[in-house]
Amino acid sequence: MAQQDGRKERMKQVSDKEIIECIEQNPNITINEICDRFKCGDRRATKLRKPFAEKAQAIKERPQEGFTEEGSENQKSLVSVSASIQTLDGALKAGKVDLTIWEVERYIINKWDVGAKYRDQNLKMEKGVMTGHAIRKNEWLVQPLWQVKVWLRRRVEKKVVDAIEALMIRAEKHSTKYIDIQIPKLIKDKHLLEISIFDLHFGKLAWGKETGTDYDMDIAEKIYHDAVVELCSKTKGFPIEKILFPIGQDFFHIDNARNTTVNDTPQDVDSRYPKIFTKGVMACVKAIDYMRTIAPVDVLWVPGNHDRTSSYHLVRELAAWYKDAKNVNVDTSPSPRKYINYGKCLIGFTHGDEEKHSMLPTLMADEVPTAWANCVSKEWHIGHTHTRRRTAYGMDDSFGSVTVRTLPSLSGTDSWHFRKGYVKGTRAAEGYLWSKEKGYSGHFSANI
Does domain 158-447 bear CATH number 3.60.21? yes
Q: What is the per-residue pLDDT for 59?
A: 59
Q: Which helix (H) or strand (E) holds 105?
A: strand 102-126
Strand order across the 191-196 sheet: 328-331, 297-302, 240-248, 191-196, 428-435, 439-447
Question: 31-38 vs 42-61: helix axis angle to the nearest 10?
Answer: 140
Query: 145 phi and psi, to 5 degrees?
Result: -125, 130
Radius of gyration of the chain (CA): 38
Question: From the centroid of its chain, how far is CA 266?
Answer: 15
Q: In this predicted structure, what is the pLDDT of residue 62? A: 57
pTM of the model: 0.64
pLDDT for 160: 81
Q: What is the dihedral of CA 225, 228, 234, 239, to 10 degrees?
A: -140
* Number of residues in the chain: 448
Instruction: Tell me if 276 sits within 8 A of 202, measured CB to CB.
Output: yes
DSSP-derived secondary structure for 181-232 = P-PPPP-SS-EEEEEE-B---BTB-B-HHHHSS-B-HHHHHHHHHHHHHHHH
**Contact 198/247 with Cβ under 8 angstroms?**
no
So what's the pLDDT on residue 219?
95
For Cα atoms 280, 286, 289, give the angle at the middle one, nearest 5 degrees: 140
CA dihedral (312, 316, 318, 323) in degrees, to 10, reads 160
In degrees, to the nearest 5, what angle opens at C-alpha 412 toward C-alphas 407 and 413? 100
pLDDT at 100: 84
Q: Which residues of the chain have pLDDT under 50?
A: 1-2, 395-399
pLDDT for 193 equals 97
Beta bridge partner(s), residue 404: 380, 391
Q: Tell me what pLDDT residue 8 has.
A: 53
Sorted by where each begins, the domain ranges of the chain are 2-51, 66-120+130-154, 158-447
Count Cβ neighbours within 10 Å for each residue of 47-65 and write b for 16 or more, e otherwise: ebbeebeeeeeeeeeeeee
Nearest in space to 241 (alpha carbons), one of 286, 195, 287, 187: 187
Measured CA angle at 69 (ends 66, 70), to 5 deg: 140
Rounded CA separation 93/87 (Å): 10
In the chain, the largest separation of any two C-alpha atoms, in whole Å, equals: 137
pLDDT of residue 447: 93
